[in-house]
Amino acid sequence: MKRHIRSILGLIVAIVLIVLIFQQTDGIQLASAIRSSNPLWLIAGLAVFCLGIAGRSARWSSMLRIASPSATPRACLQPFLSSLALNNLLPFRAGDIARAFAFNKELGTGPGQVLASLFVERLLDLASLLVFLALGLWAFGIQSLPAFGKIGAGGAALAALIIFVLLAFPRWLQIAIDVCLRLIHKLAPNSGNHLADEVAGAIKLLAALGGRRILPLIAMSLIVWGLEGLTFWCVAQSVPGLLNSAGAWFALPLATLATLIPSTPGYVGTFDYFAILAMTLTQNDAVPAAAFAFIAHLLIWLPPTLIGGIWLLIARRKA
């Protein structure tokens, strides 16, 4: 029941935000701005985006290889792209579920280890985006964001630092997982042994990723999100009429963090509304800002959805 409520709420949020966008934007001018975009800059943005996707897959591989040498960057690329495609098309983070349970044989991992890596991946992404948000707020002189609890540059930077420190010292998480494991043993003693093995593998991986090993992962995370920011900038360069294309660097964290708000698969509405907000806050007009948001959304949604979906169908037929 809760899942249905979340889906309905997400659909309502998406519809409301899309309506707000088109209330504030002339549809004919928007269509003209999109058609006038420079394809050479879009091709450059696509190339940079693909490089960033490869980097994110390599980062995931570097985490899993601690537990399994079979989880090479090449072996991880197909599950990674397939999970992106499923997340873009299906609700309830179906791609994450598939990544945790559908590719263990190929990667030589257990579900617990993959879930642990996904947890670290999400925290690294969140902290990296908070770093870019802090830099954007500071660089553009934006004092606060009411839609995000009036968070300022200092607050965003502090939150990112806390996450990085917690990842470097994962003992707190091990304690929490151990408490949950004991509770599950009491509630479901028959499945406790198998679950204990998976949790033990997850804890071992989390412990191994802590300390000095987290530093390369932090660096990789900042680089791959920097590449995505460069993708946004290339899209901004392609749109005629944008007065400040550098605002794309602020749109990156604001629009991506907005996907945490309940929405539809593919983040229709949430991503677009807050990308437009970021561009207008950085002194751009509404119509080119909306053209930028829709083009950027399509560029980062369509390629992984197509490639990952086709790859998944081919692998399913072979199976």
pLDDT tens for 281-304 read: 999 999 999 999 999 999 999 999
Domain that holds residue 62: 39-83+108-318
In a domain, 13, yes or no: no
Check residues 7 and 277 and name the one with the higher pLDDT: 277
Q: Is the pLDDT of residue 315 over 80?
A: no
Q: Is the pLDDT of residue 191 over 70?
A: no
Least Cα distance to 137 among 125, 155, 124, 122 occurs for: 155
Confidence of residue 134 (pLDDT cuts 50, 70, 90): very high
In a domain, 132, yes or no: yes
In a domain, 314, yes or no: yes
- The HSE-up count of residue 82 (CA atoms within 13 Å, CB side) is 19
Confidence of residue 243 (pLDDT cuts 50, 70, 90): very high
Residues 6+ apart with CB under 8 A from 148: 257
Residues 6+ apart with CB under 8 A from 198: 110, 111, 112, 113
In a domain, 94, yes or no: no
Amino acid at 23: Q
In a domain, 4, yes or no: no
Per the structure, how many domains does the chain have? 1
Residues 6+ apart with CB under 8 A from 235: 37, 41, 42, 45, 248, 292, 295, 296, 299
The top-scoring range by mean pLDDT among 44-58, 145-159, 205-219 is 44-58
Residue 151 pairs with which residues in a beta bridge? 145
Average pLDDT over residues 26-32: 93
In a domain, 17, yes or no: no
Q: Is the pLDDT of residue 127 over 60?
A: yes
| pLDDT > 70 in the chain, percent | 86
In a domain, 93, yes or no: no
Are 242 and 280 in contact by the 8 Å Cβ rule? The answer is no
In a domain, 1, yes or no: no
Least Cα distance to 64 among 45, 77, 82 occurs for: 77
User: What are 55-68's pLDDT values in tens digits?
Assistant: 999 999 999 999 89
Q: What are phi and psi of 272, to 5 degrees?
A: -65, -45
Radius of gyration of the chain (CA): 21
